[in-house]
């Protein structure tokens, strides 16, 4: 018998009516003769609310205690869904990740799943029950509660699907697929019927939060396609799957953006053989993730080095940069929280020239200044002013007639 893993996000679980709608969908899948495992997120807005409550008590909650409160949101959803399914006459049982044994490392707030115990799940499936598991949360071997990072329920679902050797992973959300750009920013964005893992990895990694990055990494590694679709309609959504030969026919698959970026500049750093390595070693030693890096000669002996970090880490990154700046004798250190990143993504770019020039021309025509650029085979990323990001995404979307 097929095992299908379905994941329902926060908007799909927002209130009693939504929960009943999800219960109906689950029961329909079960009645078709499938074994069904459901992974759910906390009701919409609840995780934000829990973060807010923690921050009302303290500026800097410890990772452990933050996970303790954040993991509670998903526990509400699993029990409500189990009740709603039972009401429809099917057997269902809810489990937290500690009950199942979804083991993670001890990196609080961004833990990685290391192993999943399947015994409890398969026993319940064999008893003809729908199994409902709390997404986003995990447990360490030491029984500490962890969470996987915001949006992490997608990753829980894919990891559970891999562990159970599921025949299908369906991720249900509030849009009916992956679009060529965030439909909230570009109203005429259109739904992509099939996208390669590689492109989806770039989209998710570049801010398209419709899928959690780790979930795509896991699906790709295990060759397990994801069907992303709407919980409010029955239409076919987007298949995230292996690349096929037709996919390269499309030059640009989509545009993604993030506004959660900040830029730090160390100006006029004496260029010695040690300085650059030292700067980035110190940043790494302090666990700060750097995204785009540029370095330019100011004159033959001095360099200006800029890098972007996540806005959440801006304060600590700037404090660190000020310290490093003194050590490497930088003339000045600047920080700018108001930058955005716009990324143009497509496997078709591998074999085509001139995409970057079209992007730069189109942004220039809109009066958008490009501050930094980084490129890979299938991604061109531009750092721009935060206030320009909507204009930039729309212009690029039009330029490539997405
Ligand atoms: P869930 O709570 O179901 O996990 P999310 O809010 O995490 O849902 O993700 C869905 C949202 O992702 C959509 O409402 C949409 O605004 C946003 N999004 C960003 N980029 C894209 C894109 N390229 N295609 C579709 N949705 C996108
Ligand atoms: N509830 C968590 C969040 O809001 C996890 C998720 O939705 O995937 O980030
Ligand atoms: Mg999500």
Structural domain boundaries in the chain: 3-174
Verify whether ligand 1 is closer than 6 Å to residue 173 (CB atom). Answer: yes
CA 335 to CA 315: how far, in whole Å?
9
- Say if residue 248's pLDDT is above 80: no
Strands 35-40 and 3-8: parallel
- Say if residue 249's pLDDT is above 90: no
- Say if residue 273's pLDDT is above 90: no
User: Which of 153, 181, 201, 209 gets mutated to test ligand 1 (max ligand atoms within 8 A of its CB)?
Assistant: 209
Q: How far is the CA of 272 from the centre of ligand 1 (A)?
A: 45
Q: Give me the mean pLDDT over the 154-180 stretch.
A: 97
- Say if residue 1's pLDDT is above 80: no
For ligand 1, what atom is nearest to the CA of residue 179? 24
Verify whether ligand 2 is closer than 6 Å to residue 147 (CB atom). Answer: no
Q: Give me the mean pLDDT over the 29-34 stretch.
A: 96
CA distances from 360 to 187, 307, 373 (A): 23, 20, 10
CA 149 to CA 133: how far, in whole Å?
17
Q: Quick one: pLDDT band at residue 247, thresholds 50, 70, 90?
A: confident
Verify whether ligand 2 is closer than 6 Å to residue 120 (CB atom). Answer: no
Q: Which residue's CA is the closest to the ligand 1 atom numbered 17?
A: 210
Burial class (CB in 10 A: 0-12, 13-18, 19+), 290: middle
Write phi, then psi, for 399 (nearest 5 degrees): -55, -40
For ligand 2, what atom is nearest to the CA of residue 9? 7
Q: How far is CA 195 from the centre of its chain?
A: 16
pLDDT of residue 345: 95
- Say if residue 297's pLDDT is above 80: yes
134 touches 78 (CB < 8 A): yes
- Say if residue 194's pLDDT is above 90: yes
Q: What is the pLDDT of residues 329-359, one digit of tens each?
A: 999 999 999 999 999 999 888 877 888 999 9
pLDDT of residue 287: 85
The CATH classification of domain 3-174, taken from the options 3.30.465.10, 3.40.50.1100, 3.40.1160.10, 2.60.40.10: 3.40.1160.10
pLDDT of residue 354: 85
Verify whether ligand 1 is closer than 6 Å to residue 182 (CB atom). Answer: yes
Question: Is this prediction's pTM over 0.75?
Answer: yes
Q: Quick one: pLDDT band at residue 235, thresholds 50, 70, 90?
A: very high
Q: Give me the mean pLDDT over the 210-229 stretch.
A: 97
Q: Which residue's CA is the closest to the ligand 1 atom numbered 21?
A: 182
Q: Give me the mean pLDDT over the 173-187 stretch.
A: 95
Verify whether ligand 2 is closer than 6 Å to residue 8 (CB atom). Answer: no
pLDDT of residue 74: 98
Q: Give me the mean pLDDT over the 284-295 stretch.
A: 91
Q: Which of 251, 207, 210, 212 is nearest to 341 (CA)?
A: 207
Q: How far is the CA of 3 from the centre of ligand 1 (A)?
A: 26
DSSP E strands, 185-253: 194-196, 226-230, 238-241
Q: What is the mean pLDDT of the chain?
A: 95
């Amino acid at each position: 018998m097929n095992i299908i893993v379905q994941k329902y996000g926060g908007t799909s679980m927002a209130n009693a009516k939504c929960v009943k709608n999800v219960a109906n969908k689950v029961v329909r899948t079960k009645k078709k003769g499938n074994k069904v495992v459901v992974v759910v997120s906390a009701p919409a807005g609840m995780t934000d609310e829990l973060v807010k409550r923690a921050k009302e008590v303290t500026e800097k909650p410890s990772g452990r205690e933050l996970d303790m409160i954040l993991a509670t949101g998903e526990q509400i959803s699993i029990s409500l869904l189990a009740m709603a399914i039972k009401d429809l006459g099917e057997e269902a049982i809810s489990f937290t990740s500690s009950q199942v044994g979804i083991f993670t490392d001890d990196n609080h707030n961004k833990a990685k799943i290391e192993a999943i115990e399947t015994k409890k799940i398969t026993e319940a499936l064999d008893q003809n029950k729908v199994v409902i598991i709390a997404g986003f949360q995990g447990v360490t071997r030491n029984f500490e509660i962890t969470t996987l990072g915001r949006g992490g329920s997608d990753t829980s679902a894919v990891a559970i699907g891999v562990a159970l050797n599921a025949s299908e992973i369906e991720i249900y959300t509030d849009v009916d697929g992956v679009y060529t750009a965030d439909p909230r920013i570009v109203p005429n964005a259109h739904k992509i019927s099939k996208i390669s893992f590689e492109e989806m990895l770039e989209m998710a990694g570049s801010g398209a939060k419709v899928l959690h990055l780790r979930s795509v990494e896991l699906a790709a590694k295990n060759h397990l396609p994801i069907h992303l679709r709407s919980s409010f309609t029955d239409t076919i959504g987007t298949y995230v799957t292996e690349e096929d030969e037709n996919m390269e026919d499309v030059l640009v698959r989509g545009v993604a953006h993030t506004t959660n970026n900040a830029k730090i500049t160390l100006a006029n750093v004496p260029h010695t053989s040690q300085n650059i390595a030292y700067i980035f070693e110190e940043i790494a030693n302090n666990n700060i993730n750097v995204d785009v890096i540029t370095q330019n000669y100011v004159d033959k002996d001095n360099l200006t080095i800029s890098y972007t970090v996540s806005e959440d880490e801006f304060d600590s990154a700037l404090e660190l940069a000020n310290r490093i700046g003194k050590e490497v004798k930088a003339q000045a250190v600047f920080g700018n929280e108001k930058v955005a990143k716009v990324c143009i993504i497509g496997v078709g770019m591998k074999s085509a020239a001139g995409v970057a020039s079209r992007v730069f021309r189109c942004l220039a025509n809109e009066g958008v200044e490009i501050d930094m650029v980084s490129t890979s085979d299938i991604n061109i990323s531009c750092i721009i002013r935060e206030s320009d990001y909507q204009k930039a995404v729309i212009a690029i979307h039009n330029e490539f007639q997405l």
